[in-house]
Amino acid sequence: ETLPTPWDSITNVMDGGLAGGELGVLVAPAGIGKTWCLQSLAAHLVRQGKTVVHYTLELNENYVGLRYDSIFSGVTTANIKYYKEDVESKLSKLPGKLLIKYFPTKAASVQTLGSHLKQIELSGIKVDMVLVDYADILMPTGNFKEKRHAIGNIYEDLRGLAGELEVPIWTASQANRSALEEDVIGADKVSEDYSKV
């Protein structure tokens, strides 16, 4: 069973989307909108009655929530305070669930996320998809001399967690600086460790 993206062309290329146990990685240079893309993926599934857990390692929960409010309501983040009742009305009609959890940068490992997800399941909530914004700033487990090896290990652990819980996990990663001039980002433009590919 696959979970579709909000973009038909991408969903078709992926044969229906991401399945349980798979890890999807959005790759783009800094400031391009990776977090907005992750949030669009989550919003699409919440509108379909699914439960999504969004782990944020940079932006605080309130700000991430405000951005989701904007996506769901169509009201810009700057204007939400003026249309509070309309936004709340639209949010109350959503058939799915969205849980947002903040961990400080490098304070949470893949194991931390796994423990939190198991607590969610023990509370009776079935998680359909997980977002990690973003994997490169998770805390590695183990001692690595080079950053790229630590990051490679994080991605392997994240894929393992997806398999263990049988849920799709989406994350985002930086492309290197030379990718700014590219229309299509190839595997050679992925920053740090090639095992992300």
pLDDT of residue 150: 77
Residues 29/174, Cβ–Cβ less than 8 Å: yes
How far apart (Å, rounded) are the C-alpha atoms in residues 131 and 53? 6
How far apart (Å, rounded) are the C-alpha atoms in residues 56 and 96? 19
pLDDT of residue 49: 97
How far apart (Å, rounded) are the C-alpha atoms in residues 173 and 30? 9
pLDDT mean by block of 10 residues, the chain; 197 residues: 95 95 89 91 97 96 96 95 95 97 93 97 97 91 69 90 97 70 61 54
pLDDT of residue 178: 54
pLDDT of residue 184: 66
Q: What is the chain's alpha carbon radius of gyration, rounded to the nearest angstrom?
A: 17
Provide φ and ψ at 172, rounded to 5°.
Answer: -130, 155
pLDDT of residue 141: 81
**Token pair 């590695």 in the structure block, residue:** 140
pLDDT of residue 175: 75
Pairing of strands 2-3, 18-19: antiparallel
* pTM for the predicted model, two decimal places: 0.89
